[in-house]
């Protein structure tokens, strides 16, 4: 069998959305799983949709995501140019369009805007398109030549018969047969001389030796027309794999409005690229077992495209957050610390033991931006309500808390070793002497030193990080608060 060659063929129209990222990832995985080549082709023939800088975003995103292309505009593999506008300059699309005209599979169309506007329209894929009536197919060779000589603007259209059917095969959907009468004579070459996406993708995929075409299932309805082009040229049709829709939590098509739909946005929101790739891999694909955490290498090894699902995949940010948290938990501490440091520095004043605090939060956060909310109390005691001292399970009330805090204050003042272990021993001993349970003693202390219901560490660890002076100041403040209540 020939070496597998896949391509990611983005149009440079902005950020790389999750759907695009998934296409790129699956194409990368399908190629790498079989030791094949993954190619990047920039589809910039739709000049109206072109966005300045978007090509750079594509390079950057692929690089960051670890989806290294073997060939592309910046990496010649002998199939270039890899940018469609440059391919156009070689005359390739026009050459093949003319070949189709000779074969009777395409024709010049000189109809102007007014005439096209008068044609009946049909709704296809939610878009209103006019159904071309083959008017120009009946022009004689002389008429066409005269129009061309007169410089009349034209497009080239695919000639699809009104009778019969067209069948194509998709690896996931199986054989799909459509009535030819439902297929419009789509434009192959536009009046500006550029090829349409519909034509360029066929010419390029063939001439670039692409074996597997992976794309969103919004292209399913156009595929019969592509297959007709391959057949007309006598080319081998590539393996088609159409991917399921990705929806948001409300089962609506994932849109830019969802806010977290692009790779860049997710990076800005503090997600790890490994977690994003892992998560995106599961948007429509699942392994044989229940494994959920995959490195890119593991994905390459396990990715069998036959297991891609046809059902829509839901982009669930809660699940992604969970997954990101799993990556953080598993991360080497030094690596974690380096990444967490800027977030800790942003949330905390100087002088605190950031490494120690990083240890506390490593298993408690899902994404780095969670750090602020977890640790800010170390920097500044938040305003808290006195009712926080009352805890049913610990059996504490405002009164018992006041008593405990008043008792332990002199013990802590006398405490020389303010390390976690020593503090713990002191408080444990106090509890034993009084016949109090540990929680009964620790709850009021932790409340006083943190002002929070939930903290990433216990009372004594927090005190150690705060240092004696600050810890005692907070306990005294707690006593005052309870006395005033």
CB of 210 to ligand GLU, least distance (A): 10
Show the site string, 173-202: x = touches ligand GLU by CB under 6 A, - = not: ------------------------x---x-
The beta strands (E) that lie in 294-403 are given as 313-314
Out of 4, 5, 6, 10, the residue judged to bind ligand GLU by CB under 6 A: 10
Residue 429 parent element (H or E) = helix 420-434
Residue closer to ligand GLU (CB basis): 10 or 478: 10
Residues 287, 307: Cα–Cα separation, whole Å: 7
Size of the site for ligand GLU (CB under 6 A): 7
Q: Looking at the annotation, which residues are catalytic?
A: 256
CB of 220 to ligand GLU, least distance (A): 12
Residues 197, 425: Cα–Cα separation, whole Å: 73
Out of 9, 39, 155, 449, the residue judged to bind ligand GLU by CB under 6 A: 9
Out of 43, 185, 461, 464, the residue judged to bind ligand GLU by CB under 6 A: 43
Out of 11, 159, 390, 401, the residue judged to bind ligand GLU by CB under 6 A: 11
Contact 67, 25 (CB under 8 A): yes
Residues 25, 40: Cα–Cα separation, whole Å: 12
Residue closer to ligand GLU (CB basis): 34 or 43: 43
241 DSSP β-pair partners: 214
Per CB under 6 A, 30 contacts ligand GLU:
no
Residue closer to ligand GLU (CB basis): 46 or 470: 46
CB of 10 to ligand GLU, least distance (A): 5
Per CB under 6 A, 44 contacts ligand GLU:
no
Q: Report the DSSP pairing between strands 5-8 and 37-40.
A: parallel
Contact 458, 438 (CB under 8 A): no
97 — phi, psi (to 5°)? -65, -40
Residue closer to ligand GLU (CB basis): 43 or 366: 43
Residues 457, 370: Cα–Cα separation, whole Å: 15
Residues 111, 384: Cα–Cα separation, whole Å: 75
Residues 26, 440: Cα–Cα separation, whole Å: 55
CB of 42 to ligand GLU, least distance (A): 9
User: Peptide bond preceding 81: is omega within 30 degrees of 0, i.e. cis?
Assistant: yes
Residue closer to ligand GLU (CB basis): 312 or 369: 312
Out of 22, 69, 212, 215, the residue judged to bind ligand GLU by CB under 6 A: 215
DSSP letter string, 14-50: SS-BHHHHHHHHHHHHHHHHTT-EEEE-B----TTT-
Residue closer to ligand GLU (CB basis): 197 or 279: 197
Region binding ligand GLU by CB under 6 A among candidate stretches 6-14, 155-163, 237-245, 427-435: 6-14
User: Which residue ranges make up the site for ligand GLU (CB under 6 A)?
Assistant: 9-11, 43, 197, 201, 215
């Amino acid at each position: 069998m020939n070496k597998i060659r896949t391509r990611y063929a983005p149009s440079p129209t902005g950020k790389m959305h999750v759907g695009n990222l998934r296409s790129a990832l699956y194409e990368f995985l399908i190629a790498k799983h079989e030791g094949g080549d993954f190619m990047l082709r920039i589809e910039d023939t739709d000049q109206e949709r072109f966005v300045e800088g978007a090509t750079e975003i594509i390079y950057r995103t692929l690089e960051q995501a670890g989806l290294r292309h073997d060939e592309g505009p910046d990496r010649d593999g002998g199939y270039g140019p890899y940018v469609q506008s440059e391919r156009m300059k070689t005359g390739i699309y026009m050459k093949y369009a003319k070949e189709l005209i000779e074969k009777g599979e395409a024709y010049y169309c000189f109809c102007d805007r007014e005439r096209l506007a008068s044609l009946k329209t049909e709704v296809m894929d939610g878009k209103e398109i006019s159904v071309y009536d083959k008017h120009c197919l009946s022009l004689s060779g002389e008429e066409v030549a005269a129009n061309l000589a007169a410089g009349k603007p034209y497009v080239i259209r695919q000639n699809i018969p009104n009778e019969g059917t067209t069948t194509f095969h998709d690896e996931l959907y199986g054989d799909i047969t459509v009535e030819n009468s439902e297929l419009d004579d789509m434009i192959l070459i536009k009046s500006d001389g550029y090829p349409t996406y519909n034509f360029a993708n066929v010419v390029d995929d063939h001439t670039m030796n692409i074996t597997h075409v992976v794309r969103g299932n919004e292209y399913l309805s156009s595929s019969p027309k592509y297959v007709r082009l391959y057949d007309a040229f006598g080319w081998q049709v590539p393996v088609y794999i159409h991917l399921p829709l990705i929806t948001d939590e409300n089962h609506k098509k994932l849109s830019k409005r969802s806010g977290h739909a692009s790779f860049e946005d997710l990076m800005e929101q503090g997600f790890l690229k490994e977690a994003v790739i892992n998560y995106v891999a599961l948007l429509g694909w699942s392994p044989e077992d229940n494994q959920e955490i995959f490195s890119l290498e593991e994905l390459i090894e396990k990715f069998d495209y036959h297991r891609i699902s046809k059902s829509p995949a839901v982009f669930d940010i809660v699940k992604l957050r969970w997954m990101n948290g799993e990556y953080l938990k598993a991360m080497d501490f030094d690596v974690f610390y380096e990444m967490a440091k800027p977030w800790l520095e942003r949330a905390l004043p100087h002088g605190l033991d950031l490494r120690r605090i990083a240890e506390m939060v490593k298993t408690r956060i899902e994404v780095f931006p969670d750090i602020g909310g977890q640790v800010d109390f170390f920097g500044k005691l938040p305003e808290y309500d006195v009712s926080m001292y009352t805890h049913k399970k610990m059996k504490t009330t405002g009164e018992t808390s006041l008593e405990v805090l008043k008792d332990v204050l002199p013990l802590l003042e006398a405490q020389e070793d303010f390390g976690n272990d020593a503090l713990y021993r002191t408080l444990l001993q106090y509890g034993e002497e009084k016949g109090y349970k540990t929680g009964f003693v620790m709850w009021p202390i932790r409340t006083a030193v943190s002002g929070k219901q939930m903290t990433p560490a216990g009372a004594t660890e927090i005190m150690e990080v705060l240092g004696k002076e600050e810890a005692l100041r907070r306990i005294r403040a707690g006593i005052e608060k309870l006395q005033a209540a």
